[in-house]
Structure formats: C-alpha cells, structure tokens
Amino acid sequence: MTYSLAVSAYLKRIESLLKDNTEASLLYAALELRCGVEARLKEYLEPLEHIPKSQKKEWAIAKLGLSIQNAFQTGDKIMIFTVRSRSQDEECTLIYTPVSSRLQQIACRLGDYLHLPKDNSVENMGWWDSLRELIDEGYGELLLANSGELIGLPLLHKRTGQTKVRAVIAEDDPRRKFLAEIAESGEVHVISVQYIEPRSGKKTFGIDS
C-alpha cells in the first residue's frame, strides 16, 4: 500500500472521509487535514536556503507559519506573477497561494479534537457538528493554499542577479516550455506582481455528497 504525503493526496483522503460522514471518519479527516497543512507549510520552507534545518523540521503549525511570515512578509496576500518575454512578446502567469492565518488557526484547533476528551463531550452532537464545520472550512482553505503553482515566492540571488523560481507545472502545460526557453536563453524578461488581499470573515466551501 502506498500512502502519499503530497498535499493533493491529503485533500483526496479528506474529501473521501467527509463523504463517509461517520464519527470515526471525521476524526481521521481532522488528522489528515492537520498533516496536510503541515506538509504545505514545509513545501514553502524547504527551498529557503537561509532557513535553518531545525526550523524546517519543526512540526508545530504556529512555528512553521512564523518562519514563513518572517521569510516572505506577505501575510495572507495571494500573489500573481506575470512573466513577460520581450523577444517573443508573450507572457505567462504563476500564482502563489499562502497557507492563510485562518487555516493555521484551524489546524491548531484540530489538536483539541485529536486528544482523549476529558469529559463526555463526544456524547454531545454539537461537538461533532463543530468538528465537521471546522474540517469543512479547513478543507476549502487547504484546497486554496494548494491551488497555486509557485512553491513559495520567487527569490532573487543577490550575487548573480538571477531569480530562482520553484513551481509545479504539468508536463503538457505550455507555460513550462515558455519558462524553460527564457531560462535557457538568459534573455532579459519582465516580471510584474499583483496582490489579492483576502476579505476578512469566513469563507464558504462545500463537499459534494
């Protein structure tokens, strides 16, 4: 049996468990969500050479989130990078979707449900309803966090002046060829950035039954 640690795999298992809609499946979905958030945070941290290995190995969501905030200082902003080739008169866009502060809060709160209850709270249906609501919201937030192609922000190497970009792009995606040609040619290109500031308040997500 292969158990994938990819964020997309966590999302698939969460969706399947939520459709089961049993008490046991909700607890397993909470665990999958908690691990999926940690996995995405670590994906963003891994390429950062100036971050100590001890911080990259951290498991606490709050500490991982703080390391990323200190490195990028962009908060919950979604960032759209447009790369334009002057010689080809073409452009492509790549998106960075952060692990939002709300998603980090949800992942931390799930820990309260993953320990042995100190009272008879599990006998109260409201306890399970609250857990389900938390997972539903967290699932949507993680789906959003995993939707961007960029694994962290493009980084400028001060000595060489080159921009290092780490992204996940499908083999048949034309952007892959476009970016490879620019990198190989070494041509001067233009990168512009747009910011999307999420509105305050709870987002609405859902799982199809």
Does 209 fall in a domain? no
CB distance 34 to 11 below 8 Å: no
pLDDT at residue number 150: 94
Q: Are 98 and 78 in contact (CB under 8 A)?
A: yes
Q: Would 90 be classed as within a structural domain?
A: yes
Determine, yes or no, domain membership for 42.
yes
Q: Is residue 74 part of a domain?
A: yes
Distance (Å, rounded) from C-alpha 157 to C-alpha 164? 7
Q: Is residue 35 part of a domain?
A: yes
What pLDDT, in 10s, does the model give residues 98-109?
Answer: 999 999 999 999
Question: Which domain covers residue 170, as residue numbers?
Answer: 7-196
* Cα–Cα distance measured from residue 28 to residue 36, given in angstroms and rounded to the nearest whole number: 12
Q: Give the number of other CB atoms < 10 A from CB of residue 68.
A: 22
Q: What is the rounded (10 degree) CA torsion for 51, 56, 57, 58? A: 100
Asked whether residue 26 is domain-assigned, the answer is yes
Indicate yes or no: pTM above 0.85.
Answer: yes
What per-residue confidence (pLDDT) applies to 183? Answer: 78
Residue with tokens 């308040």: 201
Number of domains the chain is built from: 1
Q: Domain for residue 2, yes or no?
A: no
Residue 203: inside a domain: no
- pLDDT < 70: residue spans in the chain: 1, 156-162, 188, 200-209
The rounded distance, in Å, linking the Cα atoms of 29 and 135 is 7
- DSSP letter for 136, please: H
